[in-house]
Every structure is written in C-alpha cells, then in structure tokens.
Structure 1
Amino acid sequence: MDEVLRYGDVLNIIQADEKDRIVERKEVPLFENDAFREAVINAFVHNKWVTENEPMITVFSDRIEILSRGVLAPEQTIDGFFRGESIPVNKKLSEIFLQLHISEKTGRGVPKITSTYGKDAYEFHENSIVVKIPFNWINEVGDKPGDKVGDISKLNDTQIKVLSEIRNNPNVTKPELEKLVGVGKTTIDNAISVLKKMNIINRVGSNKTGYWEILR
C-alpha cells in the first residue's frame, strides 16, 4: 500500500495555471491527493483477500482507477455507504489499520471522495468496487507535446523511484541515487536521461554543487 501511495505522489504533478494570471501563477495538482489516499486505503482494508487477489490500480491518460475485490459488507447499504457509515469487510484488518493510525473509524473516506468527485466516482460490479479519480489537466488539446504530462504514467519502476528520491531531496547526487534505488550507475544515468527527455526534471548547476529542478 505504501508503494501505491508513493506512486501516486510521483504521478500527482503540480501544473502551472497561467490563465487569468495577475501576479502569481496558480499551482494546480493533477488530482486531489486526499481523495486518492482514501480510495487506496479503503481498497486495501475492504478487499476480499481470501480470493488471493490484491486490489488493482490502473493509470489511464485521463484518470486513475482503483479496484477492490469483493462487494460491500452484508450489513452495509448503498445509502449508508455514501453517508460514511463505517462497516468494514475485514474487521481484524480494519482494527490493525486503526491501531497503526493509517485509517480512521469515522468513515470519512467515502464522503471525502464524493465531495470532490461526486457519487459517479464509484462503480459497483458483481465482484468488485471501482473508484475513478479523474485527472484535472490544465493543458488543452493542441499544446506542445513537451507540455503534456500523460507519459508520466509510462515510467518504469526505476524511473519512478529516481523521480521520487529527487522530489524528496533535490540535492541528491547520482552516487547517492545508486544506493537509494539499489541499482548501478548506468541504470541511474538512463533513468535520468529519460526524465530529462520527458521534461520532468532539469539539472541546475554542476554535478557537485548543483541541484535537481522538478519541471512539472
């Protein structure tokens, strides 16, 4: 679950909204992070793990879909679900999440998601529940390819980890990235090259005294 949330942090780039700018530009995230976090936590807590199938997170060009196996708890109703009445599918797992302060017993997750994206964010199927988190694109059709950030969803695991470490510490060096990511120099160089070509990062200054700039 931590890896999924971390991946969400990498995907959720901050866009610069220059429309109607007077003094400062407006920074707009690609999606609402709190809603994404609640959807992921709920998917893990309420997943039907006895089927030995984990939740599934799929990234499209315009949205993220978070699928949880199984259906609502037998005592739960649709109206109660959307009101935020917390009736866990996996009671023991829910207790563990509460003890670790990962989730809350208030049931605020569903209302948080619906207040942002509406009830249509949820789809109920025969054996699964899907939450759709739409992307709030600032760039419009016709913008330059380098201005569009949809390709971020195509980054591989190493590139995602490198980008995450750079976000956490813009002063991180390549040798430090090798240790943090657990790969060799060539792999780090290749990952950085891809991130630069996609206009995601830029190096400012020298290799020794410079820093990484996140472009989007």
Structure 2
Amino acid sequence: MKTRASLFVSLALCGLASQASAAPAKLADVFNGEMLGTNLRYFESVAGIARTSNGDSHNYKVQGCDITANAAGGTINELRLELSPTCKADLHSFIGDFAPAANQAFTFGAFNESSGGGLEFYADCLQLCGNAYDPSVYALWEGPRAVGFMQVLVEAKLVDDAPIEASGKWAAAMTQAKGDDFVVDTRFNCERTFDPQAMQAFAKVQASAVTLGTGLTKPGC
C-alpha cells in the first residue's frame, strides 16, 4: 500500500510527464480572435506561462514569435504580434474578410486596401526624438459592427530605411503646411488632416507589429 509521500511523488511525476508530452503551442492558436475575451488562465493553458509580465501586460514566445497579451481584470482584451519573415499575422479570425491575405507582405497599403480604408495615423515622435527609444508610426483602424468594432493598430518602428524615409515624407508635408512646431510637438496626432499624406508615404512599408482589440492605446498630442 502506497504511503502518502510515495503517492505524492507518483502524482508529481505523472504531472511532469503530461507537461512534457503536451504539444507545443502554435501561433495560429494563440494569436487568434477567439482568444479575446477569454480569461488569462485559459489563454496560458494554450500559450504557456508568460516569459515576462509588467502589470496587465504579459509576454509570450510561441513558435519563435513574440506575442504580448493585455489581461486587465484577468481577461484578454488585446493581442500584439511582432512581425518578421517567420512571424506572419493572419487577421481573419479577428476581422474576417477585412483582413489582408495572410501569405502576402503585411504592408500599410495591403491592410488599407483589404479593410476598405479609413486608417488614422499617429506617431510617438517624428523630429528631434532623441536616443532614449526607437519611436514608431501607427495606423489605427476600427471595424464595423459586423466584426464587433474590433480595432487594429498597425505599427512601423522607425529603425529601418523604408519607414524612416516614409516618416520623413509625411513630416515634410506637414511642415510645409503647418510649420516645424506642428510636427515637433506632435500636434498631428490630434487631427486627421494629414492622414492621406501618411497613407501615401507608408503604403509600401511593412509593419513591424500589429495589435488587435478594443479601446487600443495610441499616441496623444
């Protein structure tokens, strides 16, 4: 007859064996619209334990891809995927036919075309940014009732030539019309006047990350 100690050891070993035999998480199962609204415990039963956490923000590595989940109140309300040639975003489970083809490059132009347009552009900084961090440009889209007013925030970090050149064109158009202070003080974040110029400049730029959810945070003035 087993003692309590031996029974505990047996159960522990069974638990470890079960974990070892579990299949690794797949990107398509974790970065998926059905995960929005689920509780954090369920999400981590699929994604695995977070590598790092900062408040309600939790970071995971799934098939070599970096995913960030915001779980305010213990419920997943937004998901962010860092994009790369091996980490591609398929948005169909989130926004259906408004999503661009999953097998093509995720550019601002491709998303603008598939979503029907209406992207609003924002930026952390475009001029005199300093070296404390790498700023980004963002395009925000809000879907119709058919997709639950889902928001998509497309991001391009200003570290590579293409987004830097595009941001320069956008900034030049605004400077010519409104002056340097308008750009330096990021007043463009408070009005939609120059969204068409931003869309033209960033049309062929590949996104570095994409976030989906509701009530997404964007840069202010």
Task: Please give the range of the TM-score, normalised by the shorter of the 2 chains.
Answer: under 0.3
Q: Which has the larger radius of gyration?
A: 2
TM-score (norm 1): 0.26
TM-score (norm 2): 0.25
